[in-house]
Amino acid sequence: MKKVLKPREREQLLGTTYAFPMGIWFTLFFTIPLSIIVLYSFLKRGLYGGVEWEFTLDAYRQMFNPSFAKVVIRTLWISIVATLGSILIAIPCGYAMAKSKYQTILLFLIIIPFWTNSLIRIYAWISILSTEGFINTLLIKMGILTEGVQLIYNNGAVVLVLIYMYLPFAILPLFTTIDKFDFALLDAARDLGATKLEAIVKVMFPNIKSGLSTAFIFTFIPIFGAYTVPLLVGGKDSTMIGNIIVDQVSKTRNWPLASAFSMVLTLISLVGVFWMLYNGKREQQQTKKTTQQSLELNIRRHHLRKVNSK
């Protein structure tokens, strides 16, 4: 007898089929390279690059070198400052876009920079900030300065350009959640005695939490792994983890150490993603739990009433 599939089963089967190409793609170009990195980080360094097939924890031991620790700490604070800066700018941007009549045009304007090579955009900033650059020339012409001031090749410039590069990643998720936000809630909060700021902090922020955490992850992770920006606009003391990895691969030829640092980046990103997933799950569970509780409560009450009436 031929087995007839129920519609639901057929859908599941089709789903598996559709997912197959994507599965192959991820295995070939994502899982395998990642496994190689994990593997290399536990191997002994080869003399002229590459690895020797001998298990060792040397790479991880080398990471605790004080000079590397300094870089890790710097990477952390630069990333946090740049991420918070992006989000602080992105919230009013997203708000203005959600309220605007010209949403499509504004979205378009935000996406346009992506069509230009990121290196060119960084070089544009160099020409704006450098000693003979746009800002200095303007200030000298206006008579405010007599000679150019060093604006570039320091950590401030790195933070500024990082914010510029990753701002769209913060604006887009915030815009989508703010767009879904019911602005009547702000009216209600104002009506009930909240000032403008209180209404935004106490009513809008809790309701766009998912957008805030997405914006945080979307900006923090790429900024944490950045290497072109600190390389081009940073000074001697602006190196970040990304630069160490490049140096270890191309100059020092210590592939296991480069792999170990990559592992650190990947793990921190994973922590972020899991934190986001966990937050989403917890919110779901909370509502489920209360539904369950109220159901049980109702059943109990029903029984009590029965007992009492007897």
Partner 1 sequence: MKGVEIAVEQVSRAYGTFKALDDVSVTIHKGEFFSLLGPSGCGKTTLLRIIAGFDYPDTGTVEFDGKDILPLPPDKRQSNTVFQTYALFPHLTVYENVAFPLRLRRVEKEELDRKVREYIRLVQLEEHIDKKPSMLSGGQKQRVAIARALINEPSVLLLDEPLSALDAKLRQNLLIELDVIHDKVGITFIYVTHDQSEALSVSDRIAVMNKGKILQIGTPYEIYEAPATRFVAQFIGESNIFPCKVLACEPYGKEYMLTVDVPSLGGEVTVTDYDPSEIGAEVDFTVRPEKVRITPNPPKTTHTYMNSYKGVVDEPVYSGFQSKFYIRLDNEAKPIIKVFKQHTAFLDEGPEIEWRDTVYVSWTAADGYIVKETDR
Site for partner 1 in 187-206 (CB under 8 A): 187-195, 198, 202-203, 206
Q: In the chain, which ranges are E strands?
A: 43-45, 51-55
- The one segment of 8-16, 105-113, 114-122, 181-189 that binds partner 1 by CB under 8 A: 181-189
Q: Are 243 and 227 in contact (CB under 8 A)?
A: yes
3-state DSSP assignment of residue 100: coil
- Token pair for 35: 């496994």
162 binds partner 1 (CB under 8 A): no
| Closest CB 213 distance from partner 1, rounded Å | 14
| Closest CB 292 distance from partner 1, rounded Å | 11
- Choose among 138, 135, 118: nearest CA to 232: 118
Cα–Cα distance for residue pair 207/179, rounded to 1 Å: 11
299 binds partner 1 (CB under 8 A): no
First to last CA, the chain: 58
Cβ-based nearer residue to partner 1, 202 or 305: 202
* Angle of the 255-309 helix axis to the 209-224 helix axis, nearest 10: 160
| Closest CB 214 distance from partner 1, rounded Å | 17
Sequence-distant (6+) residues with CB within 8 A of 51 are 40, 43, 44, 45, 255, 256
Contact pick of 9, 11, 54, 182 for partner 1 (by CB under 8 A)? 182
294 binds partner 1 (CB under 8 A): yes
101 binds partner 1 (CB under 8 A): no
Cβ-based nearer residue to partner 1, 214 or 259: 214
Q: Are 64 and 83 in contact (CB under 8 A)?
A: no
Cβ-based nearer residue to partner 1, 159 or 189: 189
Q: Give start and end residues of each alpha helix (H) in 181-239.
A: 184-191, 196-199, 205-207, 209-224, 228-233
Q: Half-sphere exposure (CA, 13 Å, Cβ side) for 306?
A: 6
- The one segment of 70-78, 88-96, 115-123, 184-192 that binds partner 1 by CB under 8 A: 184-192
Contact pick of 17, 67, 146, 287 for partner 1 (by CB under 8 A)? 287
212 binds partner 1 (CB under 8 A): no
| Closest CB 180 distance from partner 1, rounded Å | 11
Cβ-based nearer residue to partner 1, 21 or 193: 193
Contact pick of 137, 155, 207, 213 for partner 1 (by CB under 8 A)? 207
291 binds partner 1 (CB under 8 A): yes
Sequence-distant (6+) residues with CB within 8 A of 157 are 125, 129, 151, 233, 234
Sequence-distant (6+) residues with CB within 8 A of 48 are 253
Cβ-based nearer residue to partner 1, 70 or 209: 209
- Token pair for 115: 């069509």
4 binds partner 1 (CB under 8 A): no
Cβ-based nearer residue to partner 1, 195 or 252: 195
228 binds partner 1 (CB under 8 A): no
**51: β partners:** 45
184 binds partner 1 (CB under 8 A): yes
| Closest CB 225 distance from partner 1, rounded Å | 33
Residues forming the site for partner 1 (CB under 8 A): 182, 184-185, 187-195, 198, 202-203, 206-207, 209, 287, 290-291, 294
